[in-house]
Amino acid sequence: MKILALGAAGFIGSHLTHRLLKEGHIVTAVDLQSEKVAEDLDHAHLTFLRQDIRSPAWDLDGMVRDADLVIDLIAYANPGLYLRIPLEVFRLNFLENLKIAEACVRHGKRLIQFSTCEVYGRTAASLKNAAVADPEDPIHATFSEDTSEYILGPVAKHRWIYSCAKQLLERVLHAYGLEQGFNYTIIRPFNFIGPKIDFLPQKDDDIPRVFSFFMDALLNGTPMKLVNGGVNRRCYTYIDDAIECTYRIVENHGGVCDRQIVNIGSPYNEVSIRQMAETMREIYAARFRDPAVPLPEIISVPGEEFYGEGYDDSDRRIPDITKARTLLGWEPVWGIHDTLETTMRYYVSERRNAATTCNG
């Protein structure tokens, strides 16, 4: 297939691009930077286009017309940005992505649209005066693509603008499917992690994702900061599991993913953010520690101090992956410990390689 992959050199995109090329597809990859796809830039079936999709001059329409399949991974997907530049988050995640979707509609091209598990919001058990018998029962935090209700925070908690933008895009794609037979598949990722998730070391003005912040702290001996005590829980998914499921969606044998929304996540890998920090520190101490660098302390900080005014968060989210199992025969295989250790090993190796290069 001739595949147009937008946002192809990001964390998920770089791994997916590599898999698509390995499987023999012809890929036109569009992104602002190419570092994460450096190993594939010389591949005969890859055309890399360094392009900002917000530029009115680039030929989106022509590129969609010439593709067999469009995969859209473009997004601002960092909680720090939701608070710092909420309008730009809305513009990119909804308005610019809508242009891509409408080009696919015009030319009758299938679209795989990456969304987010953040559309689900908070759990009912987290609400004030929630009348649930057992707030810890996972049933209250297990989200299904076609039946779960959405609970978001108030407007002043503007970190939810990301969730709202993604949710609105999903609803528009659904409407195009209803009214015009548009063929799409929406993917809701549940906290993918793995090599290349972020660049380390972090820059001074970065507000990183959780794994990257903790990894940076371990490498440099700075505090591992838990936002509001780190009580919120997540299910982490290793990137290899995620790409395997995504590739089955690309193949779409029998059209099983036509006009479907699919959760991709590992319900078995639920940990609190505090547990994640403690586990990463234990792994680092056992496997990777430089005796010259002290292990960082784990401290708690208020959410608005760490991120800024308007911060809020999902308390817990577990993916119901029944649809991925039944439609695609997919099951995640990576456990949380191996997921963390393998990803950590990548960054430790990167640090050591960088130090060797400097000393050489």
Residues marked active site are found at: 162
DSSP string, 27-69: EEEEES--GGGGGGTT-TTEEEEE--TT-TTS-HHHHHHT-SE
Strands 184-189 and 110-114: parallel
The span from the CA of 220 to the CA of 218, in Å, is: 5
Query: What pairs with residue 270 in β-bridges?
Result: 235
**Which H helix or E strand runs over 224?**
strand 224-227
How far is Cα 68 from Cα 237, in angstroms, rounded to an integer? 29
Give the length of the chain: 360
Cis peptide preceding 201, ω within 30 of 0: yes
Residues 6+ apart with CB under 8 A from 128: none
Residue type, 327: L
CB atoms within 10 A of CB 295: 14
